[in-house]
Structure 1
Amino acid sequence: MVLVPLAVTTSTKVDAALVREARAVAARWGVPFLPRRAKESVAPWLGTKAAALLVVGGDGVTLWDAEGSFGFHAGMAHLRRMRLRAGEPDAFVRVAELRAGDAVLDCTLGLRRYALGEDSGPIEVLHADAREYLKTLPSRAFDVVFFDPMFAKPRKSQPAFDMLRRFAEHAPLTHETLAEARRVARRWVVVKGAKYTDDLRKLGLEDEPGSRFTDVIWGRVGPSAAP
C-alpha cells in the first residue's frame, strides 16, 4: 500500500451517520477515507497507511500522527462565549467593535462543528488560501477581516499544540495580504499577535491597549481609501 500524507477515518464508535460525515470530510479535502472496524486501533496505520490521520468522532475531530494527537474542540472559544453571555468584556469584540449583524471574514478559521445557538451566528467555511481568496472579493465585502497567524516564536503551551504546529501554515502575514484585507474591510482589519515580538510592528500596526496579564496583543487598521 502507498503511504499517503493524510487520510480520514472514524472513531471506534462507528455508525452510519459518522461514516457519512467522515467520507464527506475526506471528499472535501481530497484525501482517502479508511474504513475502521469497531475497537480497531489506528496506531498500526500511522507510518504504514498514512503519515497522519484525521479521526472524526461523535465528540469532535482529532488529528493523529506518529508523535501524538491534537483534538479540535470548542475549548477557549466556549469559555469566551460563556463570559460574553455573562456580560464580561472580550478583547476581539472590543478591538473589532463588533455589532449585531456584522459580517466577519476570519482568514485563519479552524473547523466548523457546533450547532447554531441563540447567542451565535451562522458560519460558512471555505477551504482556500486566504491570500488568493481576498483578491477575488469585491471591495468593502465584510465589516471586519481577521487574522490569527501562527506565532513565529512558539509560546509555552500544552504538548498537544506542538503537534498542531507541525501541520499549521507558518507563512507570515504580508503587507500585500494586509492591503487586500483593508480593501475588503468596511471597518477594521484585526490582527492577533504575541507580546514581546515585533510581529505587528513589521506590518506597521500599533498594539491596542489591553490587559497586562496576557501574552497576546491585538493590532488593527482601518479600510484603505475607496478605489
Structure 2
Amino acid sequence: MIITTAGRVTPQLIQYAQRLSANYQIQYIKRNGYSIQQLKDYHQTDIFVAGKDRLFVSSLNDKNNLFFHPNLAMVRAKRLLRKEEDPFVATAKLEKGMSVLDCTVGLASDSIIASLAVGSNGFVTGLEGSKVIYIITNEGLKTCNSTNEIFNKAMRRIKIEHVPHLEYLKQQETNAYDVVYFDPMFHEAIDTSEGLNSMRVHALADEPTIEALEEAKRIARKRVVLKDHWKSDRFSRYGFTQIKRKSSLFHYGVIELH
C-alpha cells in the first residue's frame, strides 16, 4: 500500500498524508500530476488518497473506492435517540456503563450504536484484522463529523485495534467485557451495495472458530452475540439461541452466560 493526496494538492493535505504515512507505516508518494490509475498501474498496489473531505482507498482490484460512511448507523442512531428499539441493542441487552467487544468491526456501524447505548461511562473496543479497513475505520471515527454531537462523541469513544480477533481474545482476562459480538461476512450475500462489495475486497476470511467462541465465552461476563444470515448454520453449530426476525434476512443469536 501507498498513500498520496487528492489531485488538488495543498500543504495541509500533504501534511495529513505524511502524518498518516508515519502513523500507519505506509509509503508516502507525491502526486506529481499523475492520476490514481497511473499510480496503481505503476506501483501495482492499493492506494490511500488523502482528500479535503475524506480519506479513501482506491483498490488495485476493484473499481469502487472504499471510504468511511456512517450513514446506516446514523439512521439507527436517530431511532435509538428517540427511544425506539434497535434489534442489536435489544438482543445484546446493552445498558449504560456496559463494555462491548466487537470482534469484526468493519466500518463500525454496530460499534457506533453500541457506543451510543453504553454511553460515556461504558466503552466499546472494535477489532479489525484487515489493515486497509482498520485504517479507514480508525481515521473515520476520529474525523467524521455529523450534525449530531452525541453521535460524534459516540464515534470518538470507540477504540479500534488492528489485530485478528482470536489473538486478541486469548490475551484478555476472564470476564474482561460484558458482551462479545461477532458479525462475520455472510456466506449468503444479502447486500449488493458498492460499499459492502468494496469492503469485501479487503476483508479477511476471519470466520469465528470453536476456539474463538470458547475464548469469547470466557471473557464475556454476560453474553456472546452473533449476527448472521437467517439460513446460517453457525447458530446451531456454535450453540446460539437464534432470535428470528420475520422481516429481516439476517438474525441475531445469543449465548447467555452468568
Q: Classify the TM-score, shorter chain.
A: 0.7 to 0.9
- Percent identity reads 28
Return the match for 1:127 from 162, 179, 190.
162
In structure 2, how many angstroms separate the alpha carbons of the residues matched to 1:92 and 1:10? 38
Q: Deviation string for 1:92-144 (max 9, x for gaps)?
A: 11011111121111111231323693355311111111110111111111111
Give 3-state SS (helix, strand or coil) of 1:27's partner.
Answer: helix
- 2:62 paired with 1:87: no
Q: Is the 8 A contact 2:239 2:255 kept in 1?
A: no
Q: Give CA-to-partner distance per residue, 1:10-63, whole Å, 9 cap, x none.
A: 3335444443443343334433222335x7521211131142112233433322
Q: Deviations over 1:129-166 (max 9, x none)?
A: 11101111111111111111111232241244323212
1:97 equivalent in alignment to 2:93? yes
Unaligned regions of 5+ residues in structure 2, if any? 108-136
User: Distance in 1 between the 2:219 and 2:15 partners?
Assistant: 36
Alignment: residue pair count: 217
- 1:144–1:185 CA contact under 8 A, matched in 2: yes
Q: Structure 2: how far apart are the matches of 1:216 and 1:157?
A: 14
Q: Normalising by the residue count of structure 1, what TM-score does the alignment of the two structures yield?
A: 0.84
Higher helix share: 2
Q: Is 1:192 the equivalent of 2:235?
A: no
The residue aligned with 1:148 is 183
The yes-or-no answer on 1:175 pairing with 2:210 is yes
Moved over 4 A (4+): none
Seen in structure 2, the aligned counterparts of structure 1 residues 59 and 220 have a Cα distance that, compared at 3 Å, is farther
SS where residue 251 of structure 2 aligns? strand
Q: Are the equivalent residues in 2 in contact too, given 1:7–1:50 (CA < 8 A)? A: no
Q: Partners in 2 of 1:24 and 1:85 — Cα distance?
A: 35
TM-score by length of 2: 0.75
CA contact (8 A) 1:9 1:54 kept: yes
1:166 matched to 2:198 = no
User: Closer, same or farther in 2 for the Cα pair 1:166/1:118, shift >3 Å?
Assistant: closer
